[in-house]
Chains A and B, each alone.
Chain A
Amino acid sequence: EAGVTQFPSHSVIEKGQTVTLRCDPISGHDNLYWYRRVMGKEIKFLLHFVKESKQDESGMPNNRFLAERTGGTYSTLKVQPAELEDSGVYFCASSQGWVIAGTSGLRLSYEQYFGPGTRLTVT
């Protein structure tokens, strides 16, 4: 079974340009996530799709970032216009979702599987 794939692996653009990153999740995973790691900082959550719907976009930094997941399959993350501080590695992850376990009420999350990331450099 193929893992999460991302394209491109590396992108170098100038400030003010537009870049679109793509993520293909593991087949059958309804949940898709975007994260990013900027230089020297920890990996930060950006947003979460359940199928084609945005479940949680609390981590999106500003309106220069637009994520879509038309048809609930692959997703794109567009940065327009790019700024220097957008440089970093953008990770995509997917998971099967979660269920409530019996009488315990425990919410059983499934593992999130990550792609190799896209290294974005804005000059």
Chain B
Amino acid sequence: SQQGEEDPQALSIQEGENATMNCSYKTSINNLQWYRQNSGRGLVHLILIRSNEREKHSGRLRVTLDTSKKSSSLLITASRAADTASYFCATDAWGNNRLAFGKGNQVVVIP
């Protein structure tokens, strides 16, 4: 089965800096979605990128998708303290809607 997997890193950055995190998966996908989870809260949907798209922007977020390498990256520009959270990528495959999640990346933005 497919699986989204983030690079197992915890990022600690200064406010105003950019944060980049990566996600790789193993099988062909239909879509890839990024989610944010603040401590003890639910998952907040950030962005969805389809398998025929290469890059997508939403506010301070930029997501890229490289299907040849089976990988995606999430860039947060001009980070803020409120961006401190865990970030997850999740993929779905042809024929079903179930999401396969990675373990998540912890990002800490220091004011």
- Residues of A that sit less than 8 Å from B by CB: 4, 31, 33, 35, 41-45, 48, 55-56, 58-59, 91, 93, 95, 98, 104, 106-109, 111-117
Contact = CB atoms under 8 A, between A and B. Distances in A.
B101 A114 contact: no
A42 B96 contact: no
Given A35-B99, A42-B103, A43-B101, A109 B42 contact: no
Contacts of B71: none
6 contacts: A41-B103, A56-B96, A93-B99, A112-B33, A114-B35, A116-B41
B92 A109 contact: yes
Given A42-B104, A56-B98, A106 B33 contact: no
B18 to A, nearest CB: 24
B43 A91 contact: yes
Contacts of B97: 31, 33, 48, 55-56, 95, 98, 109, 112
A111 B45 contact: yes
A108 B45 CA distance: 17
Interface of B: 30-31, 33, 35, 41-45, 48, 50-52, 88, 90, 92, 94, 96-104
Contacts, number: 67
Contacts of A45: 98-100
The 9 closest A-B pairs by CB, nearest first: A116-B42, A114-B43, A43-B101, A45-B98, A42-B101, A42-B103, A109-B31, A111-B48, A111-B45
Contacts of A43: 43, 88, 90, 99, 101
